[in-house]
């Protein structure tokens, strides 16, 4: 899990939730890499990214969060 600062929490609170208390986002890093289907709960805890066991970056690497609402079966594994 990656705990995010209030900067991102403030941004998310201005967006519509994907579901009760969570957002599905794309995370765009400063180096241009993009991670789709990332789940953020409670306006500040990035808990999982579709298809990955771990979160391969730190908050300082994040350039942008894009709320996509691109849900999937959170219990399923990527193919």
Q: What are the pLDDT digits (tens) for 6-16? A: 999 999 999 99
In a domain, 8, yes or no: yes
The overall average pLDDT reported for the chain is: 92
Within-domain flag for 78:
no
> Per-residue pLDDT averaged across 15-22, rounded?
95
| Position 72 in a domain | no
DSSP for residue 26: E
| Residue 24, domain member (yes or no) | yes
d(CA 56, CA 49): 10
Domain with 47, as residue range(s), is 2-67
In a domain, residue 77? The reply is: no
In a domain, residue 49? The reply is: yes
Tell me how many degrees the CA angle 30-36-41 measures, rounded to the nearest 5: 95
Sheet with 62-67, edge to edge strand ranges = 2-3, 45-49, 34-41, 22-29, 62-67
Q: Summarize pLDDT for 24-45 with one digit per residue, the tens.
A: 999 999 999 999 999 999 989 9
Looking at the structure of the chain, the number of domains it has is 1
Task: Judge whether residue 58 has pLDDT over 90.
Answer: yes
């Amino acid at each position: 899990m990656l705990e995010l600062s209030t900067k991102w929490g403030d941004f998310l609170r201005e967006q519509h939730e994907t579901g009760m208390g969570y957002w599905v986002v794309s995370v765009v890093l400063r180096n241009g890499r993009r991670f789709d289907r990332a789940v953020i709960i409670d306006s500040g805890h990035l808990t999982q990214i579709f298809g990955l066991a771990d979160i391969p970056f730190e908050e300082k690497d994040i350039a942008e969060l894009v709320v996509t609402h691109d849900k999937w079966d959170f219990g399923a594994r990527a193919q």
